């Protein structure tokens, strides 16, 4: 009897931890975009695709937080029904993420603190890694220990835009891309540390998320500087205002 009660208490504690983690991740992304807007570094006066992109990605953040809250509050039935919306939302996110990347590159060459080829080649790899982790989590939905940790891993791989707007990114050149896109792994490390303290071991799902989060950045860097990637970037920029920027990072 006491063992069952202890197991239930431990499960509830873990669910609250994941909810807190999800809220913290969401708050960082919201803060990043809010600070950028307040500082005048971004504006609402942009083409419609920017607004669609923002609406879809923030819908994902809302879904992510809601799902962890439903589990923490014990409403697993609604959690399961709502979870199927990710089958529609995630592919749309991947498509819009790639589309906004092209629009940004062609409008102004993309963020000046990233190499243009780095931005073009690595972004799709990151989006597909996120989608792959979500897909793996959904497939393992009956194994909640794996499911919830893979979902945190997926979200951690998506934290670059949030951290990139809060960190002094131009000062991080030439490692701005690597730092902003891997700093989200701190959430996986937090999960590892909690597992070690409460379970006595680190769950293997964390290692999958960590390898995916670091691996996609490393793969993007490996491919982005190949001759074919440089030529592809030039062809994407050709005939657009973004072609005026240097291929490498620069100070405007």
The pLDDT assigned to 45 comes to 82
Complete DSSP assignment for 130-176: HHHHHHHHHHTTTSHHHHHHHHHHHHHTT-HHHHHHHS-GGGGTTSH
What sign does the CA torsion over 114, 120, 121, 123 have? positive
How far apart are the C-alpha atoms of 109 and 119, rounded to whole Å?
9
Average pLDDT, stretch 65-88?
Answer: 92
- Checking if the pLDDT of 6 tops 70, the result is no
Residues of the chain above pLDDT 70, percent: 96
How far apart are the C-alpha atoms of 100 and 182, rounded to whole Å?
21
How far apart are the C-alpha atoms of 183 and 17, rounded to whole Å?
20
What sign does the CA torsion over 64, 70, 76, 77 have? negative
Average pLDDT, stretch 78-94?
Answer: 93
Radius of gyration of the chain (CA): 19
In tens, the pLDDT along 9-57 reads: 677 889 999 999 999 999 999 999 898 888 777 778 889 999 999 999 9
- Give residue 8's pLDDT band: very low, low, confident or very high (50, 70, 90): low
Is 182 exposed, middle or buried (CB count within 10 Å of its CB: 0-12, 13-18, 19+)?
A: buried
Q: Tell me if the pTM is above 0.85.
A: yes
Average pLDDT, stretch 228-246?
Answer: 96
- Give residue 182's pLDDT band: very low, low, confident or very high (50, 70, 90): very high
Distances (CA, A) of 243 to 97, 124, 237: 20, 20, 5
Helix (H/G/I), strand (E/B), else coil: 252: coil
In tens, the pLDDT along 120-147 reads: 999 999 999 999 999 999 999 999 999 9
Average pLDDT, stretch 169-174?
Answer: 93
Average pLDDT, stretch 140-159?
Answer: 96
Q: Taking the CA of residue 214 as centre, how many other CA atoms within 13 Å lie in the half-sphere pointing to its CB?
A: 9
- Checking if the pLDDT of 204 tops 50, the result is yes
- Give residue 251's pLDDT band: very low, low, confident or very high (50, 70, 90): confident
Spatial contact of 99 and 53, defined as CB atoms under 8 Å apart? yes
């Amino acid at each position: 009897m006491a063992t069952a009660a202890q197991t239930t208490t431990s499960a509830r504690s873990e669910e609250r931890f994941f909810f807190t983690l999800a809220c913290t991740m969401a708050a960082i992304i919201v803060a990043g975009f809010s600070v950028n807007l307040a500082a005048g570094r971004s504006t609402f006066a942009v083409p419609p695709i920017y607004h669609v992109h923002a609406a879809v990605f923030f819908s994902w953040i809302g879904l992510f937080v809601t799902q962890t809250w439903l589990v923490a509050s014990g409403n697993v039935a609604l959690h399961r029904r709502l979870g199927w919306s990710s089958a529609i939302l995630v592919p749309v996110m991947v498509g819009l993420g790639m589309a906004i990347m092209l629009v940004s590159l062609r409008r102004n060459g993309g963020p000046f603190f990233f190499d243009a080829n780095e931005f073009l080649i690595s972004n799709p790899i990151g989006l597909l890694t996120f989608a792959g982790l979500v897909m793996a989590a959904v497939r393992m939905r009956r194994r909640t220990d794996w499911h919830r940790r893979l979902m945190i891993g997926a979200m951690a791989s998506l934290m670059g835009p949030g951290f990139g707007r809060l960190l002094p990114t131009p000062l991080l050149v030439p490692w701005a891309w690597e730092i902003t896109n891997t700093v989200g792994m701190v959430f996986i490390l937090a999960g590892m540390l909690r597992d070690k303290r409460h379970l006595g071991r680190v769950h293997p799902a964390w290692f999958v998320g960590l390898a995916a989060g670091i691996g996609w950045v490393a793969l993007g860097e490996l491919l982005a500087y190949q001759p074919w990637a440089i030529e592809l970037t030039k062809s994407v920029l050709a005939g657009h205002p973004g072609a005026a920027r240097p291929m490498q990072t620069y100070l405007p």
